[in-house]
Amino acid sequence: MSSFFGEHERGRSAVDYWRVVRRYSLSLGSITAVFAIIGFFIGSSIPPQYNASASLHIKPTVAAQSNNLGIQSLPFNMSSLYLTQLELIRSRAVAETVIKRLNLVNHKDFTGESRSATQSVVSGIMGEKLARTVFGNGGSKNTRPVAVTQVVPGFNERLFVRSGGKSDLIVISYDSGDPKMAAAVANEVAAEYIQALTSAHQNNINETIGWLTTKLDEAKAALVQSEASLRAFQRTQAVGDSADEVKLKSGRLSGISAQLIKARTTRMDLEIRLKQLEANNGNFTALESIRDVVDSAMVQKIREQEADQTKLILQLSERYGEKHPQLIRAKAELKHIHDKKQAEINKVIQTIRKEYEYAKNNENALKLAMSEFQKESTVAKGVEFQLAKLEMEVSTNREIYDLLLTRMKEADLTRNSSMIDVSVVDIANPPAKPYKPNLDRIVGGSALAGFLLGFFLSLLRDSTDTSFKTGEDLVDKLGVPLLGIFPMLTRKDLTGRIPERIVSERPQSAVAESVSNIRTNIIFQASNDPPQVIMLTSAMAGEGKTTLSNNLAISLARLGPTLFLELDTRRPRMAELMRSRASMGVFEFVTGKGNLKECLTAERRIKNLYTMSVVSKPAKPLEFLSSKRFKDALKILRTKFKYIVVDTPPLLPVSDAIVLGSLADGVILAVAAESTKYPAAKEALSRLQSKSVEVIGAVLTKGDRKTFKTYGKDYYYGYDSYYGGGSKRGRLT
């Protein structure tokens, strides 16, 4: 079937597809309507969801674009900033706070209390009990206590956070079955995010200032102690400041002292930076704003990758569902980038720690060098050396104190200035209507699916249908001339009329014109020697052969004396049809029991038409038709009538028509449109041709005008209107 279907489809054009749609329009429409109704009920059964959105404007402050505790300008990555804020908004801490504040653990979104539109309608019309009977207890409230941590995953599935494209906006959206709750959650998440951002900044600054205050107090005490020691030594030794001579002698000591001061300063700076990093260890959001992390080229590169991956996830989220394979892979890749970034930040911390250890070891080494120099130098034992040593200690402690004091002032300046400036642009308002389910889209999609399914089934049915649909089908498949189309008789045609006499009872109808067309084609098919004895047969019973042969005889009677000869001796029906009281017929005439006049029935209302029906059935029909007496009788009839129309049994069940075909001048094969299958018609034709029977052509019977129009073949139409004075005109093939 697939091979046949494929070959058949390759030969189709767009017009052919349109004809299939027109032909099976009723079934196509029915399937489409059923699917649309199913889609409507499916869409109506989905609980409505409302979406509310709040917009935030985010931009970095001057403090964020400079060193956290320094004043030089640092490179700032906007993508990393927005990425960090998106993650902070989606954080578990914000989710848990909002859930507790709005008491979402008892909300219907998480207790299974939500209902679809269909459930609400049924409940309102038929009552709550019947609604629960129909839909179960899906609408009943879950009374079991729910922990906040259990609600967080469902909360995050309903929460959507996205950047505003190229703008500085972040949009927070929330889905809920309650429009007011959707707006409340979106606004609450925005407010909690701003509060969390402010709290994190304040905690960071307070911790840094607290540590600097402790170190500043220690440095101040050391400075006061060293100055007191210097003054006490000067009083005891009765000396002032070190003389130039002593300084020249202590050149080496000064060099070591200068290096020691530099080493101590470096060590203190690294200690401050390391302390700041360790204070926020594990808080990667805070760590990303610290100078040493911001300065890392590798961290910046990973941030760019993270920003690109986040944009990709946002695009995929808008296009696909949460469980789509591409979105799952993208989130897994983002997690991998997160892990890589955290690992790189840890490397930065380790680097600072190593630098600090190195500076500390360098300071200790210089202290050791100073101690050794003191032991080696005899000058170190003198008053001048001791004085220089005390002055060096005072100078070192003062520089350390000044450094810490500067950092304290800088940190205090950033206390009231956040790293980023966040403002609410648009608050979320309760939406007026749900955004899903989109009933129009569901119904439209279902209808389209139904149409496509129906169209495919129609194509399959049309491709596997081996019946004859048009006259061209008959000519192409059987290879015989098409003599015409005998139409399907309508209810209007049959009202108060006999089908076998429709041509005489409605002489100006489309049926009468089609029979006249068939008659003309028969005569002009062999214009030099038109057939006298015309036999009509068909492959199977019920193809309209008898109706066609009777009406053809009526049409031929207009040209001269015509005999309708009924030779379907197995199932005769003309005597009953005509309500004839004749006691003799074909059998009696052939056997000589009656003369021609006794065996004929003249039509009273139809001039030149005579009928010889089967009154008595022969015991052996085939032997009867093959007998010499029958042949002699047919010769007599030839001399009496201009035309003889012979109605025979169908070809495939019995062989009567094959025997009679050799006695006729021409045979017409009746083929029922959209009923007779090609193999049956082909077999019937082959049987006739195998006996050298002259087949004049074929007539397509039971032709439905509407069906022909779906194939673009208007073989006949409008004759009633034409003869009745209407505007339509008809034509015949």
Q: Tens of pLDDT along 210-268?
A: 888 888 888 888 888 888 887 887 778 766 665 544 555 556 667 777 787 888 888 88
Quote the CATH superfamily of domain 466-723.
P-loop containing nucleotide triphosphate hydrolases (3.40.50.300)
Q: Environment class of residue 549 by beta-carbon count within 10 Å: exposed (0-12), middle (13-18) or buried (19+)?
A: buried
Q: Is the pLDDT of residue 562 over 90?
A: yes
Backbone angles phi and psi of 399, in degrees to 5? -65, -40
The pLDDT value recorded for residue 601 is 85
Label residue 7 by pLDDT band (50, 70, 90).
very low
Q: What is the pLDDT of residues 655-711, one digit of tens each?
A: 888 888 889 999 999 998 878 888 888 988 888 888 888 888 999 988 776 555 544
The pLDDT value recorded for residue 246 is 52
The 3-state DSSP class for residue 332 equals helix
The 3-state DSSP class for residue 50 equals strand
The pLDDT value recorded for residue 124 is 45
Label residue 643 by pLDDT band (50, 70, 90).
very high
Q: What is the mean pLDDT of residues 371-383?
A: 63
Report the C-alpha gap between 449 and 705 in whole angstroms: 30
**Mean pLDDT, the chain, whole residue set:** 77
Helical packing angle, 179-237 and 92-102, nearest 10°? 120
The pLDDT value recorded for residue 732 is 31
Q: Is the pLDDT of residue 620 over 80?
A: yes
pTM for the whole structure: 0.49
Report the C-alpha gap between 67 and 438 in whole angstroms: 51
Return the half-sphere exposure (C-beta side, CA atoms, 13 A cut-off) of residue 597. Answer: 0
Q: 166-180 burial string, b = 16+ CB within 10 Å, else e?
A: eebbbbbbbbbbbbe
- DSSP letter at 500 equals G
The pLDDT value recorded for residue 85 is 77
Q: 23-62 burial string, b = 16+ CB within 10 Å, else e?
A: bbeeebeebbeebbebbbeebbebbbbbbbbbbbebebee
Continuous H helices in 250-324: 251-279, 284-287, 291-295, 297-319
The 3-state DSSP class for residue 643 equals strand
Q: What is the pLDDT of residues 151-199, one digit of tens each?
A: 888 888 888 888 766 667 888 888 888 888 888 988 988 888 888 777 7
The 3-state DSSP class for residue 497 equals coil
Q: Is the pLDDT of residue 418 over 70?
A: no
Q: Environment class of residue 571 by beta-carbon count within 10 Å: exposed (0-12), middle (13-18) or buried (19+)?
A: exposed
The pLDDT value recorded for residue 156 is 86
Q: Is the pLDDT of residue 75 over 90?
A: no
Nearest to 677 by CA among 474, 386, 414, 536: 474
Sheet with 159-163, side-by-side order of all strands = 159-163, 169-176, 50-60, 420-426
CATH 3.40.50.300: which residues of the chain? 466-723
Q: Is the pLDDT of residue 447 over 70?
A: yes
Which residue type is seen at 227? E
The pLDDT value recorded for residue 2 is 45
The pLDDT value recorded for residue 416 is 60
CB 657 within 8 Å of CB 648:
yes
Q: What is the mean pLDDT of residues 381-388?
A: 68
* Percent of residues, the chain, with pLDDT higher than 70: 78
Helical packing angle, 439-464 and 2-10, nearest 10°? 100
The 3-state DSSP class for residue 32 equals helix
Nearest to 260 by CA among 353, 399, 406, 405: 399
Q: Which residue has the higher pLDDT, 523 or 379?
A: 523
Q: What is the mean pLDDT of residues 276-288?
A: 72
